[in-house]
Structure 1
Amino acid sequence: MSAPHHTPATTGEDEFVTIIGGDAEEIGQVFQAEGLAAKDFTIVHRIGRHRIAMAPGQQDMSALVGALIGGRLVAATYTRRAR
């Protein structure tokens, strides 16, 4: 798996890096390879399965992948606690 590409946040903005992989070990390897801990990144929540839903205006998969690779993808992650 290749390392994530991201563009730096502008001053005063939070920055997010999402690492997608087959298992927690792969994700940890990328986190270490990118030196994200030294750049003050911390995990927001535990590693687990995610479902990705596309917004209605994003049905063009090639444009979506291009935004992802180019570091321009905007995302929101929602969580629900176990019941």
Structure 2
Amino acid sequence: MEHSTQHIPEDFITIIAPTMAEVMESFKAQGLAARQYAIVHRAGKHSFTLAGGQPLFDGEPMIAATFARRASA
């Protein structure tokens, strides 16, 4: 018996802000819940650096939360 799995692509949006409250305000303002986005992992403080080593946000850690939506099949 052959099993087939269908890959359903996802869209991802990561919101970065100084606080979790600001992340969630942006989530709401963008209407992401109504567009079927859900958080994919716990949110937390991140330091951001470009591939070349240049720090972003003046090296200050920021809260990042990634949300995903499955694309329509």
Tell me the TM-score range normalised by the shorter chain: 0.5 to 0.7
TM-score by length of 1: 0.49
Structure 2: which 5+ residue stretches go unaligned? 1-7, 57-65, 67-73
Comparing 12-21 and 25-34, the one that deviates more: 12-21
Aligned to 2:12: 16
TM-score by length of 2: 0.54
Identity %: 41
Instruction: State the shift of 1:46 in Å.
Output: 1.3
- Give 3-state SS (helix, strand or coil) of 1:54's partner: coil
Higher alpha-carbon Rg: 2
Which of structure 1's runs of 4+ aligned residues deviate more than 4 A? none
Higher relative contact order, structure no. (Cα contacts within 8 Å, ≥ 6 residues apart): 2
The alignment covers a number of residue pairs equal to 49
Structure 1: which 5+ residue stretches go unaligned? 1-11, 62-76, 78-83
Aligned to 2:35: 39
**Normalized per residue, which structure has more strand?**
2
